[in-house]
Structure 1
Amino acid sequence: MSSVLAFLLLPFSWLYAAVMAGRNWLYDAGWKQSETFAVPLLNVGNLRVGGTGKTPHVMWLVEELLRQGHRPAILSRGYGRRTSGPRLAGPTDSAATVGDEPWQYVEAFAAQGVPVAVAEERRLGAQLLLLQHPETTVIVLDDAYQHRAVRPTLNVLLTELARPFYDDEVLPAGRLRESRSGAIRADIIIVTKCPPALPMAEQQAVVQRVRRYSQPAAPVIFSAYDYGQPVAVLPGALPLAPSAAGSGPVPALLLTGIAQPGPLREHLEHRGYSIQHQAAFPDHHAFQPADLVAVRAHWQAGWPIFTTEKDATRLLAPELRAALTGLPFYTIPVRVAFLGDGAAVVRQLLPGVLASKI
């Protein structure tokens, strides 16, 4: 968005911010009630529209809860699904019925028995989870920072280093869902998608900017993406060998339907792949056979085609199987790696938060 257009849209942003501020005041003053539950609710959210890395951070948190001996469940809105209302993901579901991110959670944690539910009204989703899975000891909320109808026991706020909330404006002039002051509700703030070797001086500068809006005692930590080896999307496909250093760029294609595909492309290029064509679609795009036909027109035999784990959940829809056949799609697993003592800070914070509900 150009600076001139953003300036012209500022009055509308102020109006939207005022509406959101009024709504938040009603909750803070007790005029509107936030529901609590018998188990802790740990929310991972953001102030900004678009990808800040919620999915890999939710997965890290669930893995840590499992490691500590808890029985976590995951609750998401289920954006982009073809169903509505509260729904507990089961073996007959798919990305189409529960949403791509929730289905990614199902595939990641099915072996550990972690239930996944979706609901526009999170209180109904939490009720469903506790009814169907009374063994649950903690519920992880995916993207419920503005969903004030439930009260998280721990509010984790994510903000992207390249697009921090303190340099942004409220919609439509910017990308914030509410004003920067919403950061005051965060119990911990994670600055995401950082270079693994981000200098301490730069970290301290970011912390100072965040502190203008956050609770003084809320920890501010930093995380980076940790990319794994390529994984074939279709069962039975041969593993893709890593590109060999010094052998020259390896031609490849990239297909994405996420908010921020830039970091993945940069990673692939750093690994020695030359992206000949990138088909970039909006976040949660419902892929059609024609999309894969268009990709095939740019593809040459021997070229790998990369996509994200989230996109792969939608590419495996039955209606795409014929168009997908013969195309060597691979995902690059993405996990979270905290900088410095960030992981230790979260691990030390969890026992006290979880014990508060016992």
Structure 2
Amino acid sequence: MAKPNKNIVFYLLSWLYGGITQFRNFLFDAKILSSTSFQLPIISIGNLAVGGTGKTPHTEFLLNILGKDWKTAVLSRGYKRQTKGYRLANKNDTAKTIGDEPFQIYSKFPNTAVAVAEKRVIGIENLLKEKPEIEVILLDDAYQHRHVKPGLSILLTEFNKLYSDDYMLPYGSLREWKSNNKRADIIIVTKCDEEINTTKRQEIEKKLNIKPHQQLFFSTFRYGKLYAGFENDNKQKTAELDAESHILLWTGIENPQPMWNFFQEYTSKITPMFFPDHHDFTEKEIEKIDEIFLNLPEKKLIITTEKDLSRLKSNEFLTENIRKNLFVLPLEVKILNNEHKVFTETIKDYVTKNSRNS
């Protein structure tokens, strides 16, 4: 990976920022700053870099593994929410009150307790007071939140943006030095191609500097069937695509290119409307989307992501026309190299051995 095309000021600032974060880590390692442990399984999912490595899909993947056997909760910061402090999600919440990703999880996993809190220790304490029956807590995007000591730490890194090839902010996108991968118990290389040969896996394992205590897995995303974003407004519950389909592809995510590539396999008639990650769509933007869609030829539909849908559900400017024609492409995680069973057993073994009643 080539060095980012940025000036020397950014490079020098990255060393300053790296020194500050490394000193903070030293304070935790030396126990000058304290980390709190809890008497139940705590699993952290995070990354070294800013940006989308797939934390939410992998959190949902863990919920599918654990949810049937254990009462599981998810605790997140609640990025870009309009509230402060601790909050346990309820039926009156929206993406505005708890954040788009926590609301997405809350909507898809109604039997899972979902809470948000900037301070994770306080969040866990309040969560256990309100929901004492909880048996496992997943911490979303918590690798740098060292005031909580997780029992199992999962570190994600993107196949095409390995942390080993990256640089510290603001020169690169790392939040802390890559040597801090040592805190992870499991490292997952995400967004891989379906087929990765042994030579490539070994090359990546060497680059990532995998330690003896760590397990390395590779994962990819696969897309599910399209479904209506607003079932009560849309007569169609699903949609089938062919070469004559006209798609208005509408997203506010980190990297929409994989979706574009996926739909190119069905049709070349794609109109992109891409916005920044976590974008809150304005009235003018909604009007523009509506106008563009109305001018598309028939057989047409609007397609977005589950994360975008979580924000659109509370968008007061959404038109009836959009609601009637909006479909959602779900995203699922797949562990590669026939290691799904190994990964599942690793997670379940940790939870079983560290449960409060074990």
Structure 2 Cα separation of the partners of residues 220 and 7 of structure 1: 35
Structure 2 match to 1:231:
227
Structure 1 Cα separation of the partners of residues 180 and 46 of structure 2: 11
- 8 A Cα contact 1:17 1:170, kept in partner: yes
Matched ranges for 1:176-195 at <5 A: 176-195=174-193
The answer to whether structure 1 residue 270 and structure 2 residue 268 are counterparts is: no
- 8 A Cα contact 2:244 2:299, kept in partner: no
Deviations 1:119-174 (A, max 9, x none): 00011111111111111011000000001111111100000001111111010000
The answer to whether structure 1 residue 16 and structure 2 residue 11 are counterparts is: no
Structure 1 position 207, deviation (Å): 1.1
Structure 2 Cα separation of the partners of residues 340 and 13 of structure 1: 36
The answer to whether structure 1 residue 97 and structure 2 residue 92 are counterparts is: no
- Indicate how the Cα distance of structure 1 residues 252 and 34 shifts in structure 2: closer, same or farther if over 3 A, else same: same
Q: Secondary structure at the match of 1:336?
A: strand
Letter in 1 for 2:287: V
Return structure 1 stretches of 4+ with deviation > 3 angstroms.
Answer: 1-4, 321-327
Structure 2 Cα separation of the partners of residues 48 and 3 of structure 1: 14
Match of 2:304 among 307, 329, 336: 307
Matched ranges for 1:1-358 at <5 A: 3-5=4-6, 7-67=8-68, 69-110=69-110, 113-211=111-209, 214-236=210-232, 237=234, 238-244=236-242, 248=243, 250-272=245-267, 274-276=269-271, 278-299=272-293, 300=296, 301-322=298-319, 325=322, 328-354=325-351, 355-358=353-356
Structure 1 Cα separation of the partners of residues 8 and 245 of structure 2: 43
Structure 1 position 7, deviation (Å): 4.8
TM-score by length of 2: 0.93
Number of residue pairs matched?
Answer: 349
Letter in 2 for 1:254: L
- Unmatched segments (≥5 aa) in structure 2: none
- 8 A Cα contact 2:75 2:138, kept in partner: yes
- Indicate how the Cα distance of structure 1 residues 6 and 143 shifts in structure 2: closer, same or farther if over 3 A, else same: farther
Q: Secondary structure at the match of 1:224?
A: strand
Percent of pairs identical after alignment?
A: 37
Q: Secondary structure at the match of 2:6?
A: helix
Structure 2 Cα separation of the partners of residues 39 and 6 of structure 1: 47
Deviations 1:181-240 (A, max 9, x none): 1111110000001111222322221111112xx422311110011100111111231134
Q: Secondary structure at the match of 1:146?
A: coil
- 8 A Cα contact 1:160 1:193, kept in partner: yes
- 8 A Cα contact 1:223 1:342, kept in partner: no
- 8 A Cα contact 1:81 1:99, kept in partner: yes
Letter in 1 for 2:245: V
Deviations 1:295-321 (A, max 9, x none): 123222532111100000111115123
- 8 A Cα contact 2:221 2:332, kept in partner: yes
- Indicate how the Cα distance of structure 1 residues 324 and 250 shifts in structure 2: closer, same or farther if over 3 A, else same: closer
Structure 2 Cα separation of the partners of residues 152 and 341 of structure 1: 27
Structure 2 Cα separation of the partners of residues 85 and 323 of structure 1: 35
Structure 1 Cα separation of the partners of residues 211 and 251 of structure 2: 36
Structure 1 Cα separation of the partners of residues 261 and 52 of structure 2: 16
- 8 A Cα contact 2:229 2:323, kept in partner: no
Letter in 1 for 2:230: L
Deviations 1:239-265 (A, max 9, x none): 343223xxx353211111111211121
- After TM superposition, the structure 1 stretch with the greater mean CA deviation from structure 2, 146-155 or 296-305, is 296-305
- Indicate how the Cα distance of structure 1 residues 200 and 82 shifts in structure 2: closer, same or farther if over 3 A, else same: same
- 8 A Cα contact 1:187 1:215, kept in partner: no
TM-score by length of 1: 0.93
- Indicate how the Cα distance of structure 1 residues 119 and 324 shifts in structure 2: closer, same or farther if over 3 A, else same: farther
Q: Secondary structure at the match of 2:317?
A: helix
Letter in 2 for 1:259: E
Structure 2 Cα separation of the partners of residues 316 and 105 of structure 1: 14
Structure 1 position 345, deviation (Å): 2.5
- 8 A Cα contact 2:230 2:323, kept in partner: no
